[in-house]
Amino acid sequence: MRKLFIKSFLLFFLFIPIINAQKPQKPSSAEIYNQIQKLNFLGTVLYIAAHPDDENTRLISYLANDVHARTGYLSLTRGDGGQNLIGSQLRELLGVIRTQELLEARKIDGGEQFFSRANDFGYSKNPEETLQIWDKDKVLADLVWVIRKFQPDVIINRFDHRSPGTTHGHHTSSAMLSMEGFDLANNPKAFPEQLKLEQPWQPKRVFFNTSWWFYGSKEKFDAADKTNLIGIPTGVYFPTLGKSNQEIAALSRSSHKSQGFGSTGARGTDTEYLEFLKGEPLQNKASIFEGIDTSWNRVKGGKPIGELVTKISNEYDFRNPSASIPNLVKAYSMIQALDENHWKSVKSEEIKKIIADCSGLFLEAVSTTQETTPGSTVKVNLEAINRSPVDIQLVSVTTLPEQKTTVLNTILKNNSLYNSSVEIQLPETINYTQPYWLKEKGTDGLYTVEDQKNIGIPDIIREVKVIFNVKINNIEIPFERIVVYKRNDEVKGEVYNFLDIVPEVTTTIQDKVLLFPNTKSKYVGITIKSGKNDIKGNLKLDLPKNWKVSPESIAFQLDKKGTEQTVYFEVTPPSQVSEVVAKSIATIDNVAYDKEQIIIHYDHITKQQVLKTSEVKCIRMDLKTNQEKIAYIMGAGDEVPQSLSQMGYKVTIVKPEEITPEKLENFDVVMTGIRAYNTVKALAYKQDILFDFVKNGKTMIVQYNTNGDLVTSKIAPYPLKLSNDRVTEENAEVRFLAPTNPALNYPNTINQNDFKGWKQEQGLYYPREFDKAFTPILSSNDKGEIAKEGALLIAPYGKGNYIYTGLSLFRELPEGVPGAYKLLSNLISTKPSVSVPNQKIKQ
Ligand SMILES: [Zn+2]
């Protein structure tokens, strides 16, 4: 009995995609018809790659919408290591954004989404490095787990497992692991601990989704022998949807906004190519499902269901979808009568959705508050309406997680609105809402996920739900809805979010790094936010004994939920060099709270709450600066200005339209943010002013830009060509090409130790060809590669200095890497006129 319960629990949580719809989907008659056709297809494809954006949305959309296959995308990582085009979130916070973007993409192309625990730790040039940092066995286990639970008939790799070194190491690794996983998933000796929850599964065959890109050019690919390839006609037009497959794919791809992958739809014939790799070979290349029964006959007792669904499909009335309800309900009850199996749970969810859509059944549970705390009671307004002539009875509602059922026995008459409300008592032990993969601290290469059942699940797991138990034609059908919160925005209209469970109190330390260049104390601001009404407690800033904090603790009192109060501690560093982490701890009634609430809010994704330990890195180092006045021009978004302020500089953010000779007169240095020349179009027209600024004796520091899509070809006063050169080994040895250059000597002496402790990468998109006016200062390279000399280039121009650096200062400074501060201070102070004090050059 217990086993049975576990089984049904798992079916519920494992096989069914948890799509947290931003807004309820309201499909048209044609879209419902598409779903009915899908109901009659029992075949599954899993597409495997490494990152959000690797997936081929043309193929996914074609398989989901034309073939009607269950189509999943397993992205091994959440894309944490990439660059963010729309804001300053990096690392795991960027992973949270990309996760949501992928979910939005799948809503458009009809696919389902999975992830492994692998962390996108940054660029890696070969699979050996990737698999070592990831922990190969664990990522392979996750891939096998997803195969066992999704049960694909066909696997498609985006990348070639046979060509390590030709692309990102994550890419090749995804294909190599897929090939291994294909062999292991059906082997009960492989990852046997998973078999307590899932059965072994053998996919039929695996393909490589090749394209001209892998051949070097379109011409080469056109000329290549394709006898070993199967062509997939992805250029289809869906007349009932009014869109071509490529148009749907482009809409899906455009969800990747943080990567700037807006895509324009194409029309007309198009072919995707698959190379057969392993499994049962195709005889006649007519379908990737050859030899697999994709009808209801593949399920024991499924034949009559298939016949009935075919009848429903043939008789479907586009003008009146509700005419299909009696047969749909009949098919639903036939599915319920099947023995427990994979397809039973998959198809139950599909047909329930179709029944609701055909009857215009709208069911919603809306919380009256967006945030609440464990142990609270939440008022939830219920809305239920049936827009069909079929009599529907709302029997009861069951609220989760408390599993309390309220009997309603109400008839939902055609187009007659039913409103009521329930109160949900949340347990004290309910989890705070947050991405489950960020709850525990992970390693550089892998997230920590304790519960095997959660692995693979794409989204935040939300526990507060309402099940509407509805009776149609005497058949009871439960419809589950996650409790949402919605409000009206004067500009955007209806805005949907979810109910979030928040801690009673959270604290945010205003800085993420506190830099102490000398023994002078600094004030640290901490903002306290209440998660509920009437909280009263004490706040402490916890630091090792050799650091001094005053006062020892600060009492706080907040009357209203959601209000904030900022308090200040004075921190005095020790006289010697020291690097420590200070934690902010609030205590209420002897319970300690140490979390910071981070809210990620963009229009294209639902609001995300991430909870991190509230802490600040405190660094006592000897840092010399000359107090220059800095104008900072933001690019794609970075936190360098905050770091400059920490170093003691006066920093002013100057908007591109404000760049005038008069405005710049007040500054000693102009610094451009990361990818400014990729994202700020106005800079193309301001270069003369900026170069004159340098000519007149000032300094300009340009941080990295990518080599594609520059807003001007003249980013420097001398010829300078960006390349793909990068040094991804963050602690690669750095050699000094110009050891006496002021950049390495004044006001701080730089030595090799200053390049230790860097994070993720050393630098990227280094110029490879540059004018002889530039002095290359540094040289380094990843293992086995030739030296790269474009990391830091300095050229005198007029009376000033132009500096170009691809060093990833934007990552190192917010991480509190001392060497990065010293080097940046030197770059700010470097001027041709500065004479280097006579000193021994340390190396
Ligand atoms: Zn990729």
Q: How far is the CA of 159 from the centre of ligand 1 (A)?
A: 9
Q: How far is the CA of 52 from the centre of ligand 1 (A)?
A: 7
Q: What is the pLDDT of residues 250-279, one digit of tens each?
A: 999 999 999 888 899 999 999 999 999 999
375 has pLDDT over 90? yes
Q: How far is the CA of 166 from the centre of ligand 1 (A)?
A: 13
User: What was the pLDDT predicted at 22?
Assistant: 60
Q: How far is the CA of 78 from the centre of ligand 1 (A)?
A: 10
Q: How far is the CA of 51 from the centre of ligand 1 (A)?
A: 5
Q: How far is the CA of 154 from the centre of ligand 1 (A)?
A: 21
The DSSP H or E segment spanning 333 is helix 325-336
Q: How far is the CA of 85 from the centre of ligand 1 (A)?
A: 16
Q: How far is the CA of 8 from the centre of ligand 1 (A)?
A: 36
- Could you give the CA distance from residue 773 to residue 791 in angstroms, rounded to a whole number? 15
Q: How far is the CA of 640 from the centre of ligand 1 (A)?
A: 27
Q: Which of 45, 46, 42, 63 is nearest to 234 (CA)?
A: 63
Residue 730 identity (one-letter amino acid):
E
Q: How far is the CA of 45 from the centre of ligand 1 (A)?
A: 20
- Could you give the CA distance from residue 176 to residue 173 in angstroms, rounded to a whole number? 5
Q: Where are the beta strands (DSSP E) in 543-675?
A: 548-550, 554-558, 564-572, 578-588, 591-593, 595-600, 608-613, 615-620, 629-633, 650-653, 669-672
Q: How far does the chain reach from its first CA to its final CA, in angstroms?
A: 71
Q: How far is the CA of 625 from the centre of ligand 1 (A)?
A: 40
Q: How far is the CA of 77 from the centre of ligand 1 (A)?
A: 9
- Helix (DSSP H) and strand (DSSP E) numbers for the chain: 18, 43
User: What was the pLDDT predicted at 285?
Assistant: 86
Q: Starting from the edge strand earliest in sequence, which strands make up the sheet with 564-572, in order?
A: 505-509, 522-530, 564-572, 548-550
Residues 6+ apart with CB under 8 A from 13: 453
Q: How far is the CA of 783 from the centre of ligand 1 (A)?
A: 22
- In the chain, helix, strand, coil percent, each to 5? 25, 30, 45
Q: Please answer whether residues 514 and 616 qualify as being in contact, where contact means their C-beta atoms are separated by less than 8 angstroms.
A: yes
Confidence band, pLDDT 50/70/90 cuts, at residue 241: very high
What is the rounded average pLDDT for all residues in the chain?
93
Q: What is the DSSP track for 70-127?
A: EEEEEESS--TTS--SSSS--HHHHHHHHHHHHHHHHHHH--EEEE-SB---S--SSH
Q: How far is the CA of 84 from the centre of ligand 1 (A)?
A: 14
**Which span out of 11-15, 88-92, 134-138 was modeled with the highest average pLDDT?**
134-138
Q: How far is the CA of 55 from the centre of ligand 1 (A)?
A: 9
- 751: which 2 tokens? 């030595």
User: What was the pLDDT predicted at 832?
Assistant: 54
Q: How far is the CA of 108 from the centre of ligand 1 (A)?
A: 21
The region, left, alpha or beta by phi > 0 then psi within -120 to 50, assigned to residue 397 is beta
- Could you give the CA distance from residue 431 to residue 171 in angstroms, rounded to a whole number? 35
317 has pLDDT over 70? yes
Q: Is the peptide bond before 503 cis (omega within 30 degrees of 0)?
A: no
Q: How far is the CA of 711 from the centre of ligand 1 (A)?
A: 25
Q: How far is the CA of 224 from the centre of ligand 1 (A)?
A: 25
Q: How far is the CA of 170 from the centre of ligand 1 (A)?
A: 7
- Distances from the Cα of 22 to the Cαs of 380, 495, 503, in angstroms? 18, 8, 24
Q: How far is the CA of 300 from the centre of ligand 1 (A)?
A: 40
Least confident of 106-120, 216-230, 231-245, 428-442: 216-230
- Could you give the CA distance from residue 99 to residue 221 in angstroms, rounded to a whole number? 33
Q: How far is the CA of 260 from the centre of ligand 1 (A)?
A: 14
Q: What is the pLDDT of residues 565-607, one digit of tens each?
A: 999 999 999 999 999 999 999 999 999 999 999 999 999 999 9
Q: How far is the CA of 121 from the centre of ligand 1 (A)?
A: 12
Count the alpha carbons within 13 Å of 215 in the hemisphere toward its beta carbon: 15
Q: How far is the CA of 635 from the centre of ligand 1 (A)?
A: 23
Q: What is the pLDDT of residues 70-125, one digit of tens each?
A: 999 999 999 998 888 888 888 999 999 999 999 999 999 999 999 999 999 988 88
Q: How far is the CA of 138 from the centre of ligand 1 (A)?
A: 20
613 has pLDDT over 70? yes
Q: What is the pLDDT of residues 805-827, one digit of tens each?
A: 999 999 999 999 999 999 999 99
Q: How far is the CA of 126 from the centre of ligand 1 (A)?
A: 13
Q: Which of 302, 285, 284 is nearest to 293 (CA)?
A: 302
Q: Which of 728, 699, 710 is nearest to 807 (CA)?
A: 728
Q: How far is the CA of 16 from the centre of ligand 1 (A)?
A: 26
Q: How far is the CA of 102 from the centre of ligand 1 (A)?
A: 13
DSSP-based three-state secondary structure for 692: helix
Q: How far is the CA of 214 from the centre of ligand 1 (A)?
A: 14
Other Cβ atoms less than 10 A from the Cβ of 234: the count is 22
Q: How far is the CA of 70 from the centre of ligand 1 (A)?
A: 23
Q: How far is the CA of 107 from the centre of ligand 1 (A)?
A: 21
Q: How far is the CA of 262 from the centre of ligand 1 (A)?
A: 16
Residue 300 dihedral angles phi and psi, to the nearest 5°: -60, 120
Residue 519 dihedral angles phi and psi, to the nearest 5°: -90, 5
Q: How far is the CA of 817 from the centre of ligand 1 (A)?
A: 28
Range 289-310 average pLDDT: 97
Q: How far is the CA of 233 from the centre of ligand 1 (A)?
A: 24
Q: How far is the CA of 139 from the centre of ligand 1 (A)?
A: 16
- Could you give the CA distance from residue 247 to residue 270 in angstroms, rounded to a whole number? 12
Confidence band, pLDDT 50/70/90 cuts, at residue 760: confident
Burial class (CB in 10 A: 0-12, 13-18, 19+), 687: middle
Q: How far is the CA of 158 from the centre of ligand 1 (A)?
A: 10
Other Cβ atoms less than 10 A from the Cβ of 164: the count is 18
Range 153-169 average pLDDT: 95
- Within 647-719, where are the H helices? 661-664, 676-679, 687-695
User: What was the pLDDT predicted at 88?
Assistant: 82
- Could you give the CA distance from residue 235 to residue 253 in angstroms, rounded to a whole number? 16
User: What was the pLDDT predicted at 85?
Assistant: 83
Q: How far is the CA of 258 from the centre of ligand 1 (A)?
A: 14
Q: Which residues pair with 75 in a beta bridge?
A: 49, 115
Q: How far is the CA of 626 from the centre of ligand 1 (A)?
A: 42
Counting residues of the chain whose pLDDT is more than 70, the rounded percentage is: 96
837 has pLDDT over 80? no
Q: How far is the CA of 232 from the centre of ligand 1 (A)?
A: 23
Q: How far is the CA of 329 from the centre of ligand 1 (A)?
A: 43
286 has pLDDT over 80? yes
Q: How far is the CA of 20 from the centre of ligand 1 (A)?
A: 25
Q: How far is the CA of 207 from the centre of ligand 1 (A)?
A: 18
Residue 120 dihedral angles phi and psi, to the nearest 5°: -75, 85
Q: How far is the CA of 50 from the centre of ligand 1 (A)?
A: 6
Q: Is the peptide bond before 837 cis (omega within 30 degrees of 0)?
A: no
Alpha-carbon torsion, ordered 110, 116, 121, 123, to 10 deg: -60
Q: How far is the CA of 131 from the centre of ligand 1 (A)?
A: 15
Q: Which residues pair with 230 in a beta bridge?
A: 274
Q: How far is the CA of 53 from the centre of ligand 1 (A)?
A: 6
- 415: which 2 tokens? 């187009």
Q: How far is the CA of 101 from the centre of ligand 1 (A)?
A: 15
Q: How far is the CA of 112 from the centre of ligand 1 (A)?
A: 18
Q: How far is the CA of 796 from the centre of ligand 1 (A)?
A: 39
- 132: which 2 tokens? 């070592």
Confidence band, pLDDT 50/70/90 cuts, at residue 6: very low
- Could you give the CA distance from residue 64 to residue 481 in angstroms, rounded to a whole number? 24
626 has pLDDT over 80? yes
Q: Where are the beta strands (DSSP E) in 154-290?
A: 154-157, 205-210, 229-233, 237-238, 243-244, 271-279
Q: How far is the CA of 172 from the centre of ligand 1 (A)?
A: 10
Q: How far is the CA of 79 from the centre of ligand 1 (A)?
A: 8
Cα maximum dimension of the chain = 94
